[in-house]
Amino acid sequence: MTTALLTHPDCLKHVTPDGHPERVARLDAVLSALEGKDLLRIEAPLGDEAHIERVHPRAHIDHVKASEPDAGQVPLDADTWMSPGSYAAALRGVGGAVRAVDMVLGGEVQNAFSACRPPGHHAETAKTMGFCLFGNVAIAAKHALEHHGLSRVAVVDFDVHHGNGTQDLLESDPRALFISSHQYPLWPGTGHPSETGVDNNVLNVPLAPGTDGRQIRAEMEAKILPRLAEFAPELLLVSAGFDAHRADPLAGLNWETEDFAWITEQLCDVAEAHCDGRLVSCLEGGYDLAALAEATARHVDILIARGQAV
């Protein structure tokens, strides 16, 4: 079967101030790197606000919508900005993730990659944070549970920063398992192993600054893969951030591109063992353009190869 790529030109209209790391050029780099690949290319639809309301209160949606300026850029918090077009871009991120779930669970494709921005995994219940407005992956998980009636959905977040938003949005739902590997200590400061969710449904795997891919490979084998096997998800969602790469300017881990490839292979193994190969990956961080492009291309190449093999 095939792999879907979901994106939309609206995601290039979310403009941040000069020098901001989460910039339009990131998505240009990702899409250039995916040109010519054997992907089913789908326009990410605008997300449905009713889907967002499964995790964010109406007041948060209204606040984000009302904050969009008519010109220039405005900050919503220390790191998160909006420009004209940002609200539509954020809705494309939600819609891309939800549509990807529909396509994978509907048997249209084997797996999918949603290449949208702004990212989502830092957005908390009623709080924008860390470049993120809405929790795309958590919304997709709730859609799989509520709309498609699944019983168990797992999220693996390998962005270098803790996925505090996704944890906040899913930790009270024992049908969801949230696993995050991240540099620790590092902003946002959360992600200690003592944070385990309401039903032991959160697993935080901290990684010391300066460590290379050998540590995450060991942690995957010792902790993450056994927990996924025990949970036996019916769908695997991935928060794919590429800022643990050694070239990334925002953090201090030393992963190589091949470490992202290895992790992707492991996650595809989990999906094949438990979910009939059903996996949806969504772009999160990654701020060195060359490393982002190269690691995303390897990630998607593996999704394509594994999708065609099933």
Assess 163 for contact with Zn ion (CB under 5 A).
no
Residues 6+ apart with CB under 8 A from 153: 141, 144, 145, 175, 176, 177, 233, 234, 235, 236, 237
Q: What is d(CA 134, CA 123) in angstroms, rounded to the nearest whole number?
A: 5
SS3 (DSSP) at 169: helix
Q: Which of 122, 162, 182, 274 is catalytic?
A: 122
Closest distance between Zn ion and the C-beta of residue 184, in Å?
13
CA within 13 Å, CB half, 222: 9
Assess 120 for contact with Zn ion (CB under 5 A).
no
Determine which helix (DSSP H) or strand (DSSP E) holds 29, and give its type and residue range. helix 24-33
Residues between 45 and 84 with contacts to Zn ion, criterion CB under 5 A: none
Among 165, 191, 233, 241, contact with Zn ion (rule: CB under 5 A): 241
Please answer whether residues 119 and 22 qualify as being in contact, where contact means their C-beta atoms are separated by less than 8 angstroms.
Answer: yes
Stretch that binds Zn ion, among 18-26, 149-157, 222-230, 277-285 (CB under 5 A): 277-285
Q: What is d(CA 129, CA 122) in angstroms, rounded to the nearest whole number?
A: 5
Query: How many chain residues bind Zn ion (CB under 5 A)?
Result: 5
Does residue 122 have an active-site annotation?
yes
Nearer to Zn ion, 171 or 288 (CB): 288
Neighbours of 216 (CB within 10 A): 22
Closest distance between Zn ion and the C-beta of residue 159, in Å?
4
Q: What is d(CA 234, CA 279) in angstroms, rounded to the nearest whole number?
A: 9
Assess 157 for contact with Zn ion (CB under 5 A).
no
Q: What is d(CA 253, CA 65) in angstroms, rounded to the nearest whole number?
A: 35
Among 117, 152, 161, 306, contact with Zn ion (rule: CB under 5 A): 161
Please answer whether residues 207 and 230 qualify as being in contact, where contact means their C-beta atoms are separated by less than 8 angstroms.
Answer: no
Among 93, 165, 285, 307, contact with Zn ion (rule: CB under 5 A): 285
- Contact string (CB under 5 A) for Zn ion, positions 23-42, x = contact: --------------------
Nearer to Zn ion, 285 or 307 (CB): 285
Look up residue 260 and give its two tokens: 């992202």
Q: What letter represents residue 310's amino acid? A: V
Assess 159 for contact with Zn ion (CB under 5 A).
yes
Assess 197 for contact with Zn ion (CB under 5 A).
no
Closest distance between Zn ion and the C-beta of residue 285, in Å?
3
Assess 124 for contact with Zn ion (CB under 5 A).
no
Determine which helix (DSSP H) or strand (DSSP E) holds 307, and give its type and residue range. helix 289-309
Point out the residue whose Cβ comes nearest to Zn ion: 285
Give the residue numbers annotated as catalytic, written as ranges.
Answer: 122
Residues engaged in binding Zn ion (CB under 5 A): 159, 161, 241, 243, 285
